[in-house]
Amino acid sequence: MSFSRTVAHQSRSIGRVSCPYRNSGEVIPEGLACWQPTGNRSRVLAPSIPRWQAYSASVLHGTLYVLLFLVPLAGYVRRLAGAHPVSFFGLVDMPVFIGRDEPLRLPTDTLHRGLVPTLALLMIAHIAAALKHKFIDRDGVAGRMGI
Ligand code: HEM
């Protein structure tokens, strides 16, 4: 599950803030972010957002999710197909589910290298759009992203 930051209100106790969405009125130390499950956030964008923009954003997000999954997976399979072990940031060894496989190494290498620039471009587009909403449109969309 993912979370988004929400506005925290000052409570009477000094140095603590309360998270308004929590029924218990739970307070957290001031300075810590107040996070809420994104399921509580309205998925409806402001009516001022043109339909083509809402549609493009939806396509962009979907593609980003797919690539964030596919790029590391292709790199992982390519490494295994080349008979190289893979570790998770040097902490734990990742499962080896295939042995050396030359016919698989080339396509996964091409896929990995080919998709990385697309992922990078989409990430730049995403950041640029977020900054436009924050500093030019000022329509609350950036706030939904927690910035
Ligand atoms: C989002 C995650 C990743 C990104 C953005 C990324 C990015 C890159 C980039 C920029 C290159 C160089 C491509 C080129 O020289 O044209 C590369 C190569 C490579 N990556 Fe990844 N990578 C990611 C995840 C992984 C993972 C998880 C693995 C393996 C476990 C992996 C394995 C490799 C391999 C084997 C190469 C080829 C290295 C070589 O022969 O020079 N990558 N990756």
Q: Decide whether any atom of ligand 1 lies within 6 Å of the 84 Cβ.
A: no
State the Cα–Cα distance between residues 105 and 87, nearest whole angstrom: 18
Residue (of 91, 94, 60, 61) closest to 75 by Cα position: 94
pLDDT exceeding 90 applies to what percent of the chain?
A: 59
Question: What does the pLDDT look like over 21-31, one tens digit per residue?
Answer: 444 455 555 55
Contact between 21 and 58 (Cβ < 8 Å)? no
Q: How many CA atoms, within 13 angstroms, populate the side-chain half-sphere of residue 59?
A: 7
Q: Which residue lies with its CA nearest to atom 27 of ligand 1?
A: 72
Summarize pLDDT for 44-60 with one digit per residue, the tens: 777 888 899 999 999 99
76 Cα–ligand 1 center, Å: 9
Using the atom order of ligand 1, give the atom closest to the CA of residue 117.
10
Does residue 125 register a pLDDT over 90?
yes
- The predicted model gives 60-84 an average pLDDT of 97
Which pTM does this prediction carry?
Answer: 0.74
